Amino acid sequence: MHAFRSHTCAELNKSNVGDTVRLSGWVHRVRDHGGILFIDLRDHYGITQVLCDPDSPVFAEMEKVRSEWCIRIDGNVKARDADLVNDKIPTGEIEVFVRDLEVLGASDELPLMVFGDQEYPEETRLKYRFLDLRREVMQENMKLRSDVVASMRKRMWDQGFREYQTPIITASSPEGARDFLVPSRLHPGKFYALPQAPQQFKQLMMVAGFDKYFQIAPCFRDEDPRADRSPTDFYQLDMEMSFVTQQDVFDTIEPVLKGVFEEFGGGRKVDQDWPHISYKDAALWYGTDKPDLRNPIKMQVVSDHFRGSGFAIFAKLLEQDGTEIRAIPAPTGGSRKFCDRMNKFAQQEGLPGMGYIFWREKTADSVAQELGISVKEAQAKLKAGEVEGGMEAAGPLAKNIGPERTEAIRQQLGLDVGDAAFFLGGKPKAFEAVAGRARTVIGDELGLTDKDRFAFAWIVDFPIFQIDDETGKLDFDHNPFSMPQGGMEALEGDPLAVRGFQYDLACNGYELVSGAIRNHKPEIMFKAFDLAGYGEDEVRKRFGGMVNAFQYGAPPHGGCAAGVDRIVMLLADEENIREVMMFPMNQRAEDLMMNAPSEPQNEQLRELHLRVIPQE
């Protein structure tokens, strides 16, 4: 028999009754039923119940066993009584009577329990990640991640792509985040960088004629952490293609991601039609360039209804250039209680508040106020039909702008009795993000967001340039290496009107994919950088490898990268990306388990010609 096991803890069933078997695993749970010990023995594959009574030659040793000890047992497979069968596990029809025991690894007192659903601080979980990963949910998440990556690879190979590896030690790259720098021992005072992405290398592969490239690529960025972003490293499905248009890239990556979400989405609906939404429209309708289309709410501009109105705050605001008023429709949100709650939300977000109107059935109070009679008389008139009932607008805004304007707003937004609308005003950049978060909260609280669905949208037509708020000068707004729509001719006109062949894919409020058709013509690249204040010499100095290559017959090319961690996070229905990464850092970019970052030894610093200046 094998030294450690004849079967895994998920393999035994009724056909094995009477067999002598050997199992190895961890003690998941110990139960003492009147002198009979029942132990759930767990390995990576499943659980088998083993039992031991005083007739067993190793009963005394078995009594010493505790949770998470690693043990080997030999025993005989027995059928469980019919009323004790456990249908929830594959081995639920049998149990193993222990004849021999070997402790492979005893365990100290546990800092966190593997069995059960106890919550522990993240710092504890990350310090003892090797124990945290033994928990069932984490085992399933990591298996899911592995299976998703394997599926991605197969789907890319099936489309004629080959996987190539790019360097991990390279030069600093302009990806928009901070680099992790690596000092050179052989070249004192100089530094390599860990790649923020394989961007330049994959473009150089297209120049080299490889046509279709992909890689499950590690990327390194020194970023501030968020729930959906690692502060140090992440993985992406990276791809690039030659002789393609923007639509060709979409047609390539869509079936890969649709297939993955259908295969691993647990039966949730996967949208088949992925709309193309301009960056400008996404900001207007959703307040973000990564909208959650499961939420049907679309914001609209309603400035004209407030110009010259009795609501002085908005009327005066609209006299300033570049301002507008936007409405967030809230179907079924027509109660003062809900409107007040959303107004409080806006205040918590740092705004003075959020105006609102809600529509309701006409009340006796409002009729009494309108006709100057008592509420009792108004009730009688409504009941007798002497006063027409119907709908009325309520809320401070409605009183200030009057019935004609509120009715026009209602009709524009397509609202009815029991609905509401919320209003924000100013320069869009100042309130768009808050409006987007308010839209999300409204959709969630009113039950409008379909949680059992994956909704995708391509965000396209990103602006290449913007005016820097601090300097007042023209600068890049998005990827400077995207091909401008219209090429050189577009760059001869208004730079703020130039749109790039750049695109993101949003799903359920997260950015999953980012990519572009690349600017492969040096003269167009130099012109774009010149508009942003970067001369040709500086471009050649910073991006010399790519510029040099583009002078030798570069093909048109483009591609994208899909975030593996974020995709798995959505599929696993987790809200924090650290739940789907094997050994993540904490919020302060620290590895508590391996004690990183750590102080280097003096010998290491001398070898690298470095000196650490103590912080004051």
- Where is the binding site for L-aspartate, in residues? 175, 221, 478, 518
Residue 134 tokens read as 């033994």
Q: Could you tell me which residues come within 8 angstroms of residue 169 by beta carbon, excluding any fewer than 6 positions away?
A: 182, 192, 194
**Nearest Cα to Cα of residue 239 among 562, 566, 564:** 562
Q: How far is CA 270 from the centre of its chain?
A: 17
Decide if 424 contacts 435 (C-beta within 8 A): yes
Decide: residue 608, CB within 10 A, 0-12 exposed, 13-18 middle, 19+ buried: middle
What b/e string do you get for 445-458 counting C-beta neighbours within 10 Å, with b at 16 or more? bbebbbeeebbbbb
* Bridging pattern class, strands 355-361 and 420-426: antiparallel
Distance CA 181, CA 192 (A): 6
Torsion of CA 371, 377, 383, 389, to 10 degrees: 20
Backbone phi and psi for residue 14, each to the nearest 5 degrees, phi listed first:
-60, -25
Tell me if 255 sits within 8 A of 155, measured CB to CB.
yes
Q: Which residues define the annotated binding site for ATP?
A: 221-223, 511, 563-566
Q: How far is Cα 294 from Cα 305, in angstroms, rounded to an integer? A: 29
* CB-CB contact of 332 with 310 (8 Å): no
Q: At what angle do helices 428-445 and 336-348 cross, to 10 degrees?
A: 140
Q: Which of 289, 294, 206, 274 is nearest to 244 (CA)?
A: 206
- What are the binding residues? 175, 221-223, 478, 511, 518, 563-566
Q: What is the CB neighbour count within 10 angstroms for residue 165?
A: 10
Radius of gyration of the chain (CA): 32
Where are any strands of DSSP class E within 340-412?
355-361, 391-394
Tokens of 125: 């979980």
Residue type, 101: L
**409, 328 Cβ separation under 8 angstroms:** no
Tokens of 374: 């008592």
Those residues whose C-beta lies under 8 Å from the C-beta of residue 281, and which sit 6 or more positions away, are none
| Cβ neighbours, 10 Å, residue 67 | 17
